[in-house]
Chains A and B, each alone.
Chain A
Amino acid sequence: MTQLPTPSHTVGPFYGYALPFEGGGDMAPPGHPSAITLHGCVYDGAGAPVPDALIEFWQGDGTPGSLHRNGVDFTGFGRVATDGAGHWTVHTLAPKAPYISVCVFARGLTHHLFTRAYVNHGPDALLDALAADRRETLLARQGSDRAYRFDIRLQGEGETVFLEFR
């Protein structure tokens, strides 16, 4: 029996006391020796930072995912809100897949946006199907010391490639 879906709505501006949770950006337990940092900013079509976005990360990697952090185990699910400068940070372990799946919510987004942060840039069916300048937007760039930068541009020049799943 096919059911018609419940429509999406914006997360709105006032989720801050409800959805972010303690340790939401700590997918790897604090101090894990092989943890990597993934971080970046969210920008709108005018190039302004988006200070009220909520971003979720999913990589699974053998974990069920959890909101609860026990301080010991890695969990493949993360959730962080952007700060006043549109910046977000998560600490995780290098994913087994070449990418970490990313889901963006914000005031003004009637429907969330999926994308991927590729930490490995090698051959990949999805990356290889994109034009070079578009492909670029999915590549998390390694800076110094195990930190990868992944900016998300919602619109306009350098617009991030967003995905739909069929």
Chain B
Amino acid sequence: MTLRQSDIDAEVSAIREAYAKARAGGAPAAHHPPRDYAPYRSSVLRHPEQPLFAVTASNAPEAVELTGPVFGPADVTEFDSDLTRQHTGEPLGERITVSGRLLDSHGRPVRGQLIEVWQANASGRYPHRRDQHQAPLDPNFTGAGRMLTSETDGSYSFTTIRPGAYPWRNHENAWRPAHIHFSLFGTAFTQRLITQMYFPGDPLFAYDPILQSVTDDAARARLVAAYDHSLSRPEFSLGYRWDIVLDGPSATWIEEGR
């Protein structure tokens, strides 16, 4: 039986309604997607059924996870943060600059830490051997970058090409909205985050079970960058702003200066 968009839409709505009801009954906001989110079919056999074991300061005061890797200049090169200059020619597509700040849950900057990004090219194609999408590869675009956040305010910035939407096989006529994948480290391993940034106003948002897995409206909105004209560079690129906030406890409250 073909799984259609309408089937997925019905599942997404049912989960959203259940969430709204729970919220009305006093349940706390869910800032992250549930791990068992059936509309995203790959999650069905890949989520734990047992509750997660809570590690707290009282049952694991010296948890190794309260520290984390601190990356540095040896881990990045100058060309890693300009995805349009990694080949001899210019890539095709709309050049953009994405900027923002990396913060912890107390609003403090995460300084000098590694951000990794990867994305499809302007046609919606990844240079990955398992990407079967019949869209052209761009010999001048790989789509992977790395950078360190600033030592002052935790800001980051990189130049790239706006990625294209692409089809996938979750259901019939499934399309991912344009997005950039982000990998982030805080000051503790507990703050580790991998996520995706979207572009404002994409008409595919409502049809995408990966974005919709974040059931809370306000949380979902935090995955969408803002167009910021002050970040656009004349005759060069369009500017987007996206701040990232890491979850999870860290040991750094004792060393406020970091």
List residues of chain A with CB under 8 Å of any chain B CB: 1-19, 44-46, 48, 50, 52, 56, 58-60, 64-68, 76-77, 95, 97, 99, 101, 103, 105-114, 125-126, 129-130, 134, 154-156, 159-166
Contacts and interface: CB of A to CB of B under 8 A. Distances in A.
A161 B249 contact: no
Given A60-B67, A111-B33, A126-B53, A19 B116 contact: yes
B226 to A, nearest CB: 14
Contacts of A112: 192, 194
Interface of B: 31-35, 37, 40, 42-50, 52-56, 59-60, 62-72, 74-75, 103-107, 114, 116-118, 120, 126-131, 142-144, 181, 183, 189-190, 192-196, 210, 213-214, 218-220, 222-223, 244-249
Contacts of B69: 58, 60, 64-66, 76-77
A65 B47 CA distance: 29
Contacts, number: 230
Report which residue of A6, A67, A76 has the largest number of chain B beta carbons within 10 angstroms of its beta carbon: A6
Given A7-B222, A7-B223, A165-B248, 8 more contacts: A8-B32, A9-B223, A10-B210, A16-B128, A77-B69, A108-B44, A110-B43, A155-B47
Contacts of B70: 64-65
B27 to A, nearest CB: 16
**Secondary structure type dominating chain B contacts:** loop
A2 B247 CA distance: 11
B219 A3 contact: no
Contact of A14 (B31, B126, B210, B213): B126
